[in-house]
Every structure is written in C-alpha cells, then in structure tokens.
Amino acid sequence: MTQVAPLKLAGRLLALGLATVIVQIAAVSQVHLFGVNADLVPVVVAAVGLLCGSVSGAVFGFAVGLLVDLALVQTAGLSSLLYLAIGYWCGRARELRDPQGPLVPIALGAGATAVATVGYTLMELLLGADSPVTFVLVREIVATILLNALFAAPVMAVARRALQSALPEDARRRRRRRAYTTGGLSPLHRA
C-alpha cells in the first residue's frame, strides 16, 4: 500500500502539469486583462510546493518549466531553473513554517510571479537579448504580478482539489498550532 500513494501522487502531478501548460498556452495567454496576460504556471508550481513539499515542488517546477520552454520554443532551461527555485522555496516555506493564513496563497502567488517574471527578464538580458529595458517593461511586470496575485487563491484551490486525494495524510488535514510547552498559560494570555 505504501507504493501506491507515491505513484498516485506522481500521476496527479503529471496530469496537473500537462493541464496547466496546455491551458496556459491555449487559453490564458490569449486573454489580455489590464494590458497583460496572466501566467498561471508559477502559481501552480508554488501551490504544488506548498502542498507537497520542497523536493516534489522542485521536481514539478523543473518538469513544467522544461515543458513550457519546449512548447514555446524558448531558450531551454531558463523557465526550468526559475520554476525549480519557486517550487523548492514554496515547499521549504511549508516545511519550516507551515503557513495557513488566508493571505498565504496571494502572497506566494505574487512572490512566485515576481521571481518568474523578473528572473526571466534578467536571464534573457544576461544572455544578450536585444530588448530595451523601459518603463513599459516594468509596468507589464508589475501588472502581471498584481494580476497573478488576484488569480492565486482560486488557482491554488483548484490545485489543492486536484491533488487532495493523493497527498500524504499529514498534508490533507491542517496541523494544529503547537500549544505552549511549559504547561501553563502563554505569557500573552495572562491578564
């Protein structure tokens, strides 16, 4: 029974990755809101890192990034490197802090989008792309970050729903906050 759970999770991650890339390229990239396109891939990678941990998030990010680079005929490896870092650090946030607040998806979605857009722009400039850095580029990056922050909560809810039955038992239920360890009342609760 222990071998079935990792295979089920890997299958769900594979399906989620393929669906994300296909929906992003075929539908979401065709819709312009506020003059920019939403980029759901970094938000989904952040959601997988937050739900599954750092190793699964990094592997998922690398695979999805490589698929995006190959599908869009871009420089292979740039998106993979960025999404690998996003998946790893969102997974580490889960492992170290176990964030559960209502604004966590929005903050992680905005942060993941910022790393992806700014990082990709810097890497392209370092590799010698002949695109000028102007106010329009900065405006598009900021607008994309804000737009993805708006879509982060629903996208992370869909990712959670897609992976929920394949997640390990401890990731399915919310962890309780640790009680005060001395057995007495917390110094913050004393009257």
Provide, for the chain, the percentages of residues in helix, strand and coil under a 3-state DSSP scheme, each rounded to the nearest 5.
70, 0, 30
174 domain-assigned: no
% the chain with pLDDT above 90: 48
147 domain-assigned: yes
13 domain-assigned: yes
Query: With 50 as the cut, is the pLDDT of residue 1 above it?
Result: no
Domain of residue 34, residue span: 4-168
Q: Which DSSP string corresponds to 32-83? A: -BTTB---HHHHHHHHHHHHH-HHHHHHHHHHHHHHHHHHHT--TTHHHHHH
101 domain-assigned: yes
Indicate left, alpha or beta for 53 from its phi (over 0: left) and psi (-120 to 50: alpha): left
182 domain-assigned: no
SS3 181: coil
Which among 162, 156, 155 has a CA at the least distance from the CA of 16? Answer: 162
Q: Give the least confident one: 49-53, 73-77, 101-105, 185-189.
A: 185-189
125 domain-assigned: yes
- Domain count for the chain: 1
Distance spanning both ends of the chain, measured CA to CA:
51
121 domain-assigned: yes
pLDDT in tens, 23-75: 999 988 888 788 888 889 999 999 999 988 889 999 999 999 999 999 998 88
Q: Which CATH number covers residue 148? A: 1.10.1760.20
27 domain-assigned: yes
Query: Residue with structure tokens 């990712």?
Result: 159
| pLDDT band at 172; cut points 50, 70, 90 | very low
Please give the backbone phi and psi of residue 94, each rounded to the nearest 5 degrees, phi first: -65, -45
